[in-house]
Amino acid sequence: MAAKEAAAEENKDHGVLYMGIDLGSSRTSVSASNGVRETIASYVGYPKDVVARKLLKKDVLFGDEALEKRLSLDFHRPLAHGKLKFQSAAGKEAEDAVRATKDLLAEIIRRSRPRKDELIYAVIGVPAQASIKNKEAILNAARESVDSVMLCSEPFAVAYGLDMLDDVLVIDIGAGTTDLCRMHGTMPEESDQITINYAGDFIDDELMKAFQKTCKGAAFSVQMVKTVKEKYASVSDEMERALVTFPVSGKPTQFDVTNDVRNCCRSIIKPIVDGLQKLIETFDPEFQEKLRSRVLLAGGGSLIRGLDYAIESYMHEHLGGGKVIRIEEPVYGGANGALKIAHDMPAEYWEKLR
Amino acid sequence: MPGSGPGLFSEAEVRRLMRIEFERSQRYKIPLVCFVIAVDRMDRLLDMYGQDFKNDLLRGVQSLLRQTVRESDLTGSVVDDKVVVLVTHTPPEGARSLANRMLEGARKLSFRAGARTIKITLSIGGSHNQHGTNLFFDTLVEVAEGGLSVAQGAGGDRYVHSELYEFFQAKHERERRERGEPLTEAPAFDAPLEGAQSASLPAALPADPVADLADAHRDVLRDIVAEEGTKALQSARKAQEALVHAIEDMQTKGGDPNLAAELESYKRQIDVLERRIAKLTQLLAMTEDDLRRLIDAKSIDPGVASIYKTVQGLDDATSNAKAKKELMKRIFQANLELKEQLKPGTPG
C-alpha cells in the first residue's frame, strides 16, 4: 500500500497542474502548482449589444475591467451574498448567473496559464454552508474547464493551508458571508460551522445608509461606497480621517465620513463574536480555553484595520479572553489552502472523481 | 514583387491590360477569374535571407505561374509583393482547381539560402465576374484581395474565394458618385451591351431625411460587412435595396396626395427591414466570434508547466501525516457522495 501511494505521489509532478481556487463573492483567486497566483474581482459582464461589443472588442469582460465598463454590459456578480444567484432568481437571470460562474471559473483557470498538455486537478473552496444546489452548479461550471474537481469548505481550506488543524476557530470574512469554523483535527461537520451575513456587503449597505445622512444632497453609488470602504476601512479609534468627495447638484463636495466608516466596520464585530461564542460553548469544556486562544482571521474582510484587536478585546469583554491571529495573505489564504489540499490528495482519489 | 521584374508587366501596364480584358469579358459575357497571390511569410524570409533571396524566390513563383496558367492569361504585379492573375474563359468552378494546382506547385518549389533549403507556400484570394451584379474591375481585384487576407489570416497555404462583391461595389459606386463620375464603367454581366443605364443607386439623391436614413443604413451595413467579412451580405443588400427603391418611389411621387399613406407603409417596411438587419447583425456577431477564435488560436499561450516539487507534498515525513491522510479521505468521500447524489436520475 505504501509503495502504491509512493508511486502515486511520484506521478503527481508529471503532467498534472494542481489548482486551489477560492470562489468568493467579491474576489476569485487561484494558486496553481506552476507558481502562478492570480486574483480577479468576481464580476462578469457581457456586451449589451453589437455596438458595445464592437467598442469593447470582447465577448466577455471580467473583474475590474467589467466593473469599469459596466454601463455597456449585462453586468453580473454571480456569487453575490455567498451563493450562486440562481437560487434566488429564475428563468434567464438564473441561466445568466450559471453562465457567468462558468465563464468566471474558466477565466481564472486561463489566467493560471495551464499548459495544454497537462491535466488540471482543482480544489474549489466554497462557503461553509453552501447548499447542494450551489455545489452542483459550481461543479458543473468547473467541469468544463478542469479534468477533476473537488469542493471543500473555505474556512477549512484556510486552516489547512496554515497547518492549523487542531483546536482552531477560523473567521473567514468574505463579501457575501462570514464563515465561522471550528477545527478539531477532523473534517468540520455542520455543527462546527456557522455562516452569517455580516460581511463586506453588509458593511456597504450600512455605509450607504450612514452616508445618506452624513452627506446631505450628495449623489453616490454602492460602488463608490465600496471604494471608500476599501480605502479607509478601520475600526480603530485613531484611524486616518476619511475625507471623500461626492457630487452635490453636480458640484464635487468634500465630506468627512470617518465616524461612519468606523461605526459601520464595527457593526460586524458583535455578530461575529456571538457566533464564536456559540462554537466555543458547544465544544468540549476541557478544550474551550485553547479554542478561544487560537482564532484565525481570514478573508478580504480581515483587511479592515484593527479588526483583529477589536475582536480580541470584544472577546475579552464578553467571552473572558481570546487571541486573534490575522493570516498573512487574506486574498490568497483560501486558494493556498485549497492548493495544498489538491497536492496532498492521493492521485487515485482524483482519478475516481474524473 | 518588383513591378518591372523580368517577364512581368509593370503595375500600370498590367492594370491597363487587365481592364481591357475585363471589359471585353464583361461585354461578351466571357467568364473570367481573378487571383491575387502572395508568398506566405515573405517579410520574414526577406529579413532572414535578404533581397537577393527574395528576388530568386519571386522568379521561381513567376515561373511556376507561367507553367500553370495559359499564355493568353495575364499575370502582373501589384503592390506589396502580391501578384494578380486574370484568367479568362474560366468559370468559378474551375478557379479552385487552378488555384490548387498553383498551391501544389508552390509546395514543390525549393530555394537555396546558403546551406539551407527553404520551402515556400502561397496564399491565394479569388474572385470572378459571374456574380450577376454591376462590376468594376477594381471591385474584382479588391474582392480577390479580401480572399487573400482571409487565406493569410488562416495560416496561409490555401485558396479563399471571397464573395464580398456588393460591399466593394457599393464602396466604388459611392466613391464615384462623390467624385461625380458616371457609374457606367462596367456594364452588368447580363445587361444590354450598348447604351445600358446603370441599375445601381441613383447618383445624387436630393437632400431628404428619408434618403439620409437610407444612407445611414447603407453605412451601417458597410461597416458591419467591412468588419465582419460575413455571410449575411446578400440579405442585407436586399434590405438596403428595398429601402432605396422606397425612397426613389417617394421622390417620383413627390406631389401625390396619398403620400402620407405611402410614407406610413414604407415606415412599416423599414421597420421590418430593421428587424431583419438586427437578426443579420446577430449572425455577423457569430462570424466575428469565429474569426476571433481563429486569431486567438494563432497566439496561444504555451502556459507554465507544473512545478509540483517546489510545493510541499504529503508523505510520511509530513507533520500530522496520518491525520492529514484521514482528512483527505474524508474530503474525497464527501465529494464522491456528492457526485453520486448529483448523478442524473438520483432522487434529490
| A315 CA: distance to closest CA in chain B (Å) | 30
Chain B CB within 8 Å of residue A163 CB: yes
Whole-number pLDDT of residue B12: 73
d(C-alpha B154, C-alpha B156), whole Å: 6
| A5 CA: distance to closest CA in chain B (Å) | 9
Which residues on B lie below 8 Å from A139 (Cβ)? 338-339, 342
pLDDT(A50) > 90? no
Whole-number pLDDT of residue B195: 31
Chain A CB within 8 Å of residue B342 CB: yes
- Closest chain A residue by Cα to residue B335: A150
Which residues on A lie below 8 Å from B303 (Cβ)? 34, 113-116, 118
**Pair A226, A88 in one domain:** no
Asked if A343 lies within 8 A of B308 by C-beta distance, the reply is yes
Q: Final residue of a domain: which of A215, A239, A266?
A: A266
d(C-alpha A310, C-alpha A308), whole Å: 5
Whole-number pLDDT of residue A352: 84
Which residues on A lie below 8 Å from B313 (Cβ)? 9, 12, 343-344
Whole-number pLDDT of residue A87: 52
Chain B CB within 8 Å of residue A146 CB: no
Whole-number pLDDT of residue A83: 58
Whole-number pLDDT of residue B114: 78
pLDDT tens per residue, range A86-115: 555 556 777 788 889 899 999 999 999 988
Instruction: Answer whether residue A170 is part of any domain.
Output: no
The predicted complex's ipTM stands at: 0.83
Q: Final residue of a domain: which of A266, A291, A323?
A: A266
Domain B1-204 has CATH 3.30.70.270: yes
Q: Which of A233-237, A242-246, B252-256, B331-335 has the lowest mean pLDDT?
A: B252-256
Residue in B285, B303, B328 closest to A53 by CB: B285
Is residue B85 within a helix (H) or strand (E), and if so which, with residue range? strand B82-88
**Pair A26, A122 in one domain:** yes
Is A143 buried (19+), middle (13-18) or exposed (0-12) by CB count in 10 A? middle
**Pair A13, A144 in one domain:** yes
Which residues on B lie below 8 Å from A54 (Cβ)? 227
Chain B CB within 8 Å of residue A92 CB: no
Whole-number pLDDT of residue A199: 92
Residue contacts between A and B (CB atoms, under 8 Å): 119
**Pair A6, A153 in one domain:** yes
Asked if A151 lies within 8 A of B327 by C-beta distance, the reply is no
Residue in A17, A113, A341 closest to B331 by CB: A341
Chain A CB within 8 Å of residue B341 CB: yes
Asked if A35 lies within 8 A of B310 by C-beta distance, the reply is yes
CATH code for position A258? 3.30.420.40
**Pair A247, A347 in one domain:** no
User: Could you give the 3-state DSSP secondary structure of residue A113?
Assistant: coil
Contact A98, A125 (CB under 8 A): no
pLDDT(A6) > 50? no
Whole-number pLDDT of residue B124: 92
**Strand (E) positions, A200-294?**
243-248, 251-256
Nearest to B126 by CA among B106, B102, B155, B107: B102
Whole-number pLDDT of residue A157: 92
Is B210 buried (19+), middle (13-18) or exposed (0-12) by CB count in 10 A? middle
- Closest chain A residue by Cα to residue B344: A136
Contact A157, A280 (CB under 8 A): no
The number of distinct structural domains making up chain A is 2
- Closest chain B residue by Cα to residue A13: B308
Chain B CB within 8 Å of residue A352 CB: yes
Chain B CB within 8 Å of residue A130 CB: no
Residue in A33, A53, A186 closest to B308 by CB: A33
Asked if A353 lies within 8 A of B300 by C-beta distance, the reply is no
d(C-alpha B87, C-alpha B90), whole Å: 6
| A328 CA: distance to closest CA in chain B (Å) | 18
How many helices (H) and strands (E) chain B has is answered by 9, 7
Which residues on B lie below 8 Å from A34 (Cβ)? 303-307
Asked if B306 lies within 8 A of A340 by C-beta distance, the reply is no
Averages of pLDDT over each 10 residues, chain B, 348 residues: 46 76 81 89 83 85 82 67 84 84 89 83 88 74 84 82 71 71 47 32 39 49 50 55 63 62 72 71 70 66 68 64 86 88 67
Residue A245 phi/psi, 5-degree rounding, is -120, 115
Contact A128, A193 (CB under 8 A): yes
- The three grid cell numbers given for residue B171, joined into one nine-digit string: 464602396
**Pair A6, A101 in one domain:** yes
Nearest to B188 by CA among B246, B136, B150, B224: B136
Residue in B300, B315, B330 closest to A9 by CB: B315
Is B50 buried (19+), middle (13-18) or exposed (0-12) by CB count in 10 A? exposed
- The three grid cell numbers given for residue A195, joined into one nine-digit string: 455562516
Q: Which residues does residue A124 pair with via DSSP β-bridges, in sequence order? A: A21, A151
Asked if A115 lies within 8 A of B303 by C-beta distance, the reply is yes
Contact A104, A137 (CB under 8 A): no
Across all residues in chain A, what is the average pLDDT? 87
Q: Which domain holds residue A74?
A: 2-159+332-352
Residue in A135, A163, A346 closest to B338 by CB: A135
Asked if B332 lies within 8 A of A163 by C-beta distance, the reply is no
Sign of CA dihedral B167, B173, B174, B176: positive
Which residues on B lie below 8 Å from A162 (Cβ)? none
Contact B248, B202 (CB under 8 A): yes
Chain B CB within 8 Å of residue A348 CB: no
pLDDT(A69) > 70? yes
